[in-house]
Amino acid sequence: MAQTDLSVTAINAPVSGCALTATENVTIRIFNFDATLPAGTMFDVSYTINAGVPVVETVTLAVPLTSNTAMNYTFTTQADLSIPGTYTF
């Protein structure tokens, strides 16, 4: 796994709204504050909902992630937001 200065700078999805489902995509924006990471670099990302069990996935870069740029990552594990209410990620 890479040891580098990456940061999640946004949650792009899901967005607030009515009629969310049990199969909502979770997409984050990851910013690289460090040197360029070559294709094939691996690092873990995770999310939790309402302090529940973490969803942890490994990202493998298909292309280089250059310094001072961002990428979006959509988790393969979707979120169940089908019950109306407030969710904390």
What is the C-alpha to C-alpha distance for residues 65 and 12, in angstroms, rounded to an integer?
A: 19
What stretch of H or E contains 11? strand 6-13
Report pLDDT digits (tens) over 16-70: 888 899 999 999 999 999 999 999 999 999 999 999 999 999 999 999 999 999 9
Kindly report the pTM of this predicted structure.
Answer: 0.90
